[in-house]
Amino acid sequence: MSIITKAACVGGGVIGGAWAARFALAGIDVNIFDPHPEAERIIGEVMANAEKAYGMLTMAPLPPRGKLTFCKSIEQAVEGVDWIQESVPERLELKRGVITEIDAFARPDALIGSSTSGLLPSDLQADMKYPERMFVAHPYNPVYLLPLVELVGGKKTSAATIKRAEEGVAEIGMKGVVIAKEIEAFVGDRLLEALWREALWLIQDDICDTETLDNVMRYSFGMRWAQMGLFETYRIAGGEAGMRHFLAQFGPCLKWPWTKFTDVVDLDDALVEKIGSQSDAQAAGRSIRELERIRDENLVGIMHALKASNGGEGWGAGKLLADFEKRLWAKGGNQAKTHDASGPLRLIDTKVNAAWVDYNGHMTEHRYLQLFGDTSDALLRLLGVDFAYVEAGHSYYTVETHIRHLGEAKLGQELYTTLQLLASDEKRVQFFTRIHDAASGEVIATAEQMMLHVDAKASKSVPAPTEVLTKLKPIAEGHAKLEVPEGAGRHVGQKR
């Protein structure tokens, strides 16, 4: 059974709003309480960004979006929900008061997570009647894309709560990392704080400006850290002798004057203005919303790259995404399990997202192939050839593809695909797929493809089993009555 069927967000700013989006996109209804007069508008904008990002992130069938309900009080928001996420400003007294109120009105077994960046859970749970169900669930901005949640229990938090919290965040595509002991700022913010302090000194001392500092990060170790952490990265930096050699070589530097971070800069008006004006110049007129859009596109691209890494198995956040998608496919989301075979099967509905567009301003070549591949995967799922089937040792492999480009697909354009079976036997399926513009139905591209049923371990084609052929039969019979599509059997013409 699911840990979270209904959630509440108390505080709906940068972080609370993005938590609401994360829950809603996982199909969970969310109650929101935030006294800000513009809370609904702000969360609406975060939701729109999150939906755009998910459109780029995954083709897996997301469940129907959860409903957002804006409530007039904490009491109303937390009534009957399974998970309450507190994301009010970082002030101990405020948070403690809000959490105590949540505790008074929530179901005694409901989980209560705090988004605090650094306060101790023991301090937050001090006045609670049921403190055993309260913990820190510290996310990273943007919560709807970055999967990490640091889970930190206080003195009165039960082990069962932390276990349920770990399972709960996994359900919404996140990675719960349990921190063994409570400590201010946990692990992530301790590391960020060290870097942040050092960075402020480098600006204060005119060693570099904000743009130079950001360039140093994003062209180098920033990219490394998205895929391996500090220790794994430095292990490799030690060469064949690994971590021990790395420590021997760079250990002495720890005693050299390579850092100022244990002193705190004086964030006086002059320094605030210096950083503010350098940051304005760096933004070059881009609004926060524009920067968020670029950030989200970049993060999606990084996760896609990580999903394809390690020989296709996925790595880090990419492996997490791949596993989440497998679960989404297994659940099937909104996907129809049967189709009317009296016409071509409509299998994929999608939109051209920014990551698919090339320098010509339209969908780039390999994305057509991806869409044709996603459509043939959808056909295979209809036939019962899903992840479990593939893991058991059999699959269909594509052995031939011929694509024709007939029109253009531009950024944001809505598309759908249809598939018509041309021929099949116990080993082969041959089919014709069309990509349509969703508004007009016009055909933008077609592909004719052939797949063979294979024994993956033996690497040879073998007949498909009866259960697959039985599902294929009604489609084959229905499509045998259709006209052969214009363009089927075509090849690239060559004048000699």
Ligand X SMILES: NC(=O)C1=CN([C@@H]2O[C@H](COP(=O)(O)OP(=O)(O)OC[C@H]3O[C@@H](n4cnc5c(N)ncnc54)[C@H](O)[C@@H]3O)[C@@H](O)[C@H]2O)C=CC1
Ligand Y SMILES: C[N+](C)(C)CC(=O)CC(=O)[O-]
Nearer to ligand Y, 15 or 454 (CB): 15
Nearer to ligand X, 104 or 237 (CB): 104
Which of 12, 27, 131, 314 touches ligand X (CB under 6 A)?
A: 12
117 near ligand X (CB under 6 A): yes
Distance CA 240, CA 327 (A): 38
Nearer to ligand Y, 114 or 125 (CB): 114
Residue 12 partner contact from ligand X, ligand Y, none using kind-dependent CB cut-offs of 5 to 8 Å = ligand X
Select the residue whose beta carbon is closest to ligand Y and give its number.
117
* Relative orientation angle of helices 39-57 and 14-25, to the nearest 10 degrees: 50
Please state the closest distance from residue 69 (CB atom) to ligand X, in A. Answer: 15
Which of 6, 7, 13, 102 touches ligand X (CB under 6 A)?
A: 13
Select from 55, 18, 7, 12 the least CA-distant residue to 171: 7
Select from 56, 84, 96 the least CA-distant residue to 321: 56
Residue 98 partner contact from ligand X, ligand Y, none using kind-dependent CB cut-offs of 5 to 8 Å = ligand X
141 near ligand X (CB under 6 A): yes
11 near ligand X (CB under 6 A): yes
Please state the closest distance from residue 138 (CB atom) to ligand X, in A. Answer: 6
19 near ligand X (CB under 6 A): no
Contact residues toward ligand Y (CB under 6 A) are 117, 140-141, 189, 192
User: Which residues does the annotation place in the binding site?
Assistant: 11-16
DSSP-assigned letters across all residues of 205-218: TTS--HHHHHHHHH
Select from 304, 325, 330 the least CA-distant residue to 315: 304
Beta strands 29-33; 68-70: pairing state: parallel
Cα distances (angstroms) measured from residue 368 to each of 234, 242, 408, 434: 40, 43, 11, 10
Q: Is 146 helix (H, G, I), strand (E, B) or coil?
A: coil
Instruction: Restricting to residues 20-59, name those near ligand X by CB under 6 A.
Output: 33-36
Nearer to ligand X, 98 or 379 (CB): 98
Residue 189 partner contact from ligand Y, ligand X, none using kind-dependent CB cut-offs of 5 to 8 Å = ligand Y
DSSP-assigned letters across all residues of 412-455: T-EEEEEEEEEEE-SSEEEEEEEEEETTT--EEEEEEEEEEEEE
10 contacts 85 by C-beta, under 8 angstroms: yes
User: Which residues does the annotation place in the binding site for NAD(+)?
Assistant: 11-16
Q: Is 363 helix (H, G, I), strand (E, B) or coil?
A: strand
How many residues does this entry show for the chain? 496
Q: How many CB atoms lie within 10 A of CB 425?
A: 13
Residue 15 partner contact from ligand Y, ligand X, none using kind-dependent CB cut-offs of 5 to 8 Å = ligand X
Instruction: Restricting to residues 95-114, name those near ligand X by CB under 6 A.
Output: 98
Instruction: Provide the mask over 194-213, with x wherever binding to ligand X is found by CB under 6 A and - wherever it is not.
Output: --------------------
Nearer to ligand X, 195 or 438 (CB): 195
Select from 341, 401, 334 the least CA-distant residue to 371: 401
Instruction: Restricting to residues 219-258, name those near ligand X by CB under 6 A.
Output: none
Please state the closest distance from residue 35 (CB atom) to ligand X, in A. Answer: 6
Please state the closest distance from residue 10 (CB atom) to ligand X, in A. Answer: 5
Distance CA 313, CA 348 (A): 24
Which of 4, 16, 24, 246 touches ligand X (CB under 6 A)?
A: 16
The residues of the shown chain that bind ligand X, judged by CB under 6 A, are: 10-16, 33-36, 87-90, 98, 115-117, 138-139, 141
